[in-house]
Chain A
């Protein structure tokens, strides 16, 4: 079938296929390749049937088609790594800032009571957020052990990032691709 196509027809088909592909940039690379191949095969079949000009006309707007493919792939708005990063990064910065503020506040409190404080001071932490901390003061200078973020904080931030970025929609795509690849082998 494709043998009947002359080189100009092939070029026009390739142009349509790669224009279509340029609108699929948000899809995983393997998915883009699969869709490109499928469109090429369909266009070649259509071209052999009704001619390249008519085949391309019947295809319609490739940008609209690509948008439909993206919705079909993700079942709605596509996942956004950037949205996930925009949420996770400030959340981590905020939590680390709070952690430093907590250290400074505790030290400040001890030094305010006794500018030349010496000895061990214990801070009980915050349930589910910060671990307990021990401050060693020597003549008003402090070093600390503990007081780090608890794993629950990391879990919550990652959970929030997944939720905001709709990252769960990335997973089924790769699973489906694997199934197709297995079928074709």
Chain B
């Protein structure tokens, strides 16, 4: 069973992940979800990703266009705008800087759980 991830942590970094994936390749909603699942983030629900894409579009960080599909109705493809690339650069830098501080602290070995104190009589 794949490891589960804290939904709050994921929510904080989801926009950044979406921008990064869309920078690799222009994609439509379900394709982005598939990419996230392939990365191991299978516990992100599709219903979280689709509104996140809509939010990025409102913030003008991605632009959308409808592309007709031979297998059905037209799909809405997203790609980062200039503002999106700028946000991605800033976000990646902020994330890496935070990780540089947090990772060494959290990966440091910690003492075992202290023994419960005995009850005073």
The interface of chain A, by Cβ under 8 A from chain B, is: 1-3, 34-35, 37-42, 44-46, 49, 55, 58-62, 64-65, 68-69, 71-73, 75, 172, 176, 180, 183-184
Contacts and interface: CB of A to CB of B under 8 A. Distances in A.
Contacts of B26: none
B47 A60 contact: yes
Interface residues of B, number: 29
A42 B28 contact: yes
Interface of B: 28-31, 33-34, 45-48, 50-52, 54-55, 57-59, 63-66, 69, 71-76
19 contacts: A1-B69, A37-B73, A37-B74, A38-B76, A40-B73, A41-B73, A41-B75, A42-B33, A45-B72, A45-B75, A58-B47, A59-B45, A72-B57, A75-B59, A176-B58, A180-B64, A180-B65, A183-B63, A184-B74
B58 A59 contact: no
Contacts of A73: 54, 58
A2 B51 contact: no
A40 B72 CA distance: 10
A37 B76 CA distance: 9
Contacts of B57: 72, 176
Indicate the member of A49, A72, A184 with the most B CB atoms within 10 Å. Answer: A72
